[in-house]
Copies of this chain bind each other. A is one copy, B any other.
Amino acid sequence: MDENAGPATASGGRRPGEVPLLLATVFRDMSDHLHTRLAELGREPLRPAHGYAFRYLADHPHATTVGLAAHLGVTKQSASKTVGELADWGYLRRRPHPTDRRAQILRLTDRGQEYVRLADTLWAEAEQQWADLIGADRLTAVHDALRAYVDHLPDGRRTGLRPVW
């Protein structure tokens, strides 16, 4: 059952195909951590999809709804709905596009940016718990391994953060 044991195997070998499930489990737990903390802090129950939208908007100050949709891997209608909610809640404003009167520039408000910083902090918290467990060096090694996978993806597959299944 373990034709793949590497020299660094500390936990008795790795069943082929086991890693994806572990990835999901760990991510799921970290995600739960985030939402638990948000609830503790009395924050609005933003869904993780919103979180990924936030991140994209924070990184792309000239984002449009269609661009966001592509990033999230959902239809533009769905992205439009999300944008509408975030706007209603005061996290972003739609501003006219300077040259294209069909389009709107999506800009985070101060409140929106503050939320992004909070989310980053909470994700970092979850990550730190892992670092406490295995050490910062090993976590960095994991990070680099993940990074290598992601960097190797063709552009089209690098985003896609719609519901994981």
The chain A residues found within 8 Å of chain B, CB to CB, are 4-11, 14, 16-32, 34, 47-49, 52, 55, 120-128, 130-131, 133-134, 136-150, 152-153, 157-158, 160-161, 163-165
- Given the contacts A19-B142, A161-B28, A6 and B128 also touching, CB distance less than 8 Å: no
A146 in contact with B28 given A19-B130, A127-B19 (CB within 8 Å) = no
CB distance from A37 to the nearest CB of B (A): 12
Among all A-B residue pairs, the 3 with the closest Cβ atoms: A17-B123, A17-B124, A48-B165
| CB pair A20 B126 closer than 8 Å | yes
- Counted per complex, copies of this chain come to 2
The residue in chain B whose Cβ has the minimal distance to the Cβ of A151 is B11
Q: Which residues of B contact A137 (CB under 8 A)?
A: 6-8
Given A120-B16, A127-B20, A161-B25, A11:B147 Cβ within 8 A: yes
Known contacts: A8-B144, A19-B127, A19-B146. The answer to whether A164 contacts B133 by CB under 8 A is no
Residue of B6, B26, B165 touching A163 (CB-CB under 8 A): B165
**In the bound complex, do residue A16 and residue B128 qualify as a contact, i.e. CB atoms below 8 Å apart?**
yes
CB distance from A73 to the nearest CB of B (A): 9
A141, B18: Cα distance in complex, Å: 13
For A8, give its contact among B34, B141, B150 (CB under 8 Å): B141
Looking across the interface, which residue of chain B has its beta carbon closest to that of A13?
Answer: B140
Residues of B within 8 A of A122 (CB): 17
Determine how close the nearest CB of chain B comes to the CB of A80; give it in whole angstroms. Answer: 19
Q: Measured between C-beta atoms, what is the minimum distance from A9 to chain B in Å? A: 5
